[in-house]
Amino acid sequence: MNKKDKYAVFGNPIKHSQSPQIHAAFATQTDQKITYRAHQVEPGRFKEVARSFFDNGGSGLNITVPFKIDAFEFADELSHRARRAGAVNTLALQDDGRIYGDNTDGVGMTRDITENLAWEIGDKRVLVVGAGGAVRGILGPLIKRKPSLLLIANRTVSKARQLASDFSDLGDVRGCSFEALTGNQFDLIINATSASLAGELPALPSAIVSDKGCCYDMMYSAEPTPFMRWAAENMAWAVSDGLGMLVEQAAESFCIWHGVRPKTKPVIELIRESLQAS
């Protein structure tokens, strides 16, 4: 191994990260020789630990909760989509020693939805549930797919409206309360809250899924999430968790680092089998 082969994911907690297995599969598939490890970083120490990683031969980092804003501030250069998101999940060492920051979450999700699941976004009525940091990463790529309506619903309405305002220059995006959804129907509903991790469900009214409506949970697990069960009970035409998004955003990071795009479907299957076996 040389210094160009060292990669890692930083987060807290990080114990259950699938990233090492995903990138190992990508490396085998594309004949790359790398090391990739998961590191738990203590709060307040991100910049110190990241600087040490790059100073000691690291070439790239994936960043997960809660350090995506820290990574945004750490990067010397930012992609356009990272600037729009205000967060970074991929750091790459450049030839001149500068650190490049990107956000691959949104493109990972839209690629999973449109290519792996073969669902449509263009000209569809899209509802995004939640207005946290995860939503900032997906709005730009979603708007780029030109839905007929993009609505952000959140318990704290002011956050949804502020987020919509921040991205309104890209297209028609609006914010509202959960109560305001009653009487409306959507072709694609994306749960961008972390409620599923706690076994909870956002306060969504019933009958908001259209006849051929699809429901997507950005979280993933071995079993259907509460949101996925709600979608099935509300007669969604198709339902998915976010495991494909995880793999697709990782593939985009891998391509940034290595200049080659791995095939994702076999890796999605591999990780799914691993989750179900554990």
Cα(179)–Cα(204) distance, integer angstroms:
8
Number of Cβ within a 10 Å radius of residue 138: 22
Tokens of 32: 């790359």
Residues with catalytic function: 68
Domains of the chain with bracketed CATH: 3-103+245-277 (3.40.50.10860), 106-241 (3.40.50.720)
The 3-state DSSP class for residue 150 equals strand
In this prediction, residue 25 carries a pLDDT of: 98
Cβ contact 88:55 at 8 Å = no
**Nearest to residue 256, comparing CAs of 93, 136, 38?**
93
Q: Mean pLDDT per segment of 10 residues, for the chain of length 278 residues? A: 75 94 97 96 97 97 95 98 95 97 98 98 98 92 97 96 96 96 97 84 93 96 94 96 98 97 98 91
In this prediction, residue 4 carries a pLDDT of: 53
Tokens of 97: 């020693």
In this prediction, residue 197 carries a pLDDT of: 73
Q: 């997507």: which residue's tokens?
A: 216
In this prediction, residue 2 carries a pLDDT of: 40
In this prediction, residue 1 carries a pLDDT of: 38
Cβ contact 77:24 at 8 Å = no
Cα(176)–Cα(223) distance, integer angstroms:
30
Cα(199)–Cα(195) distance, integer angstroms:
6
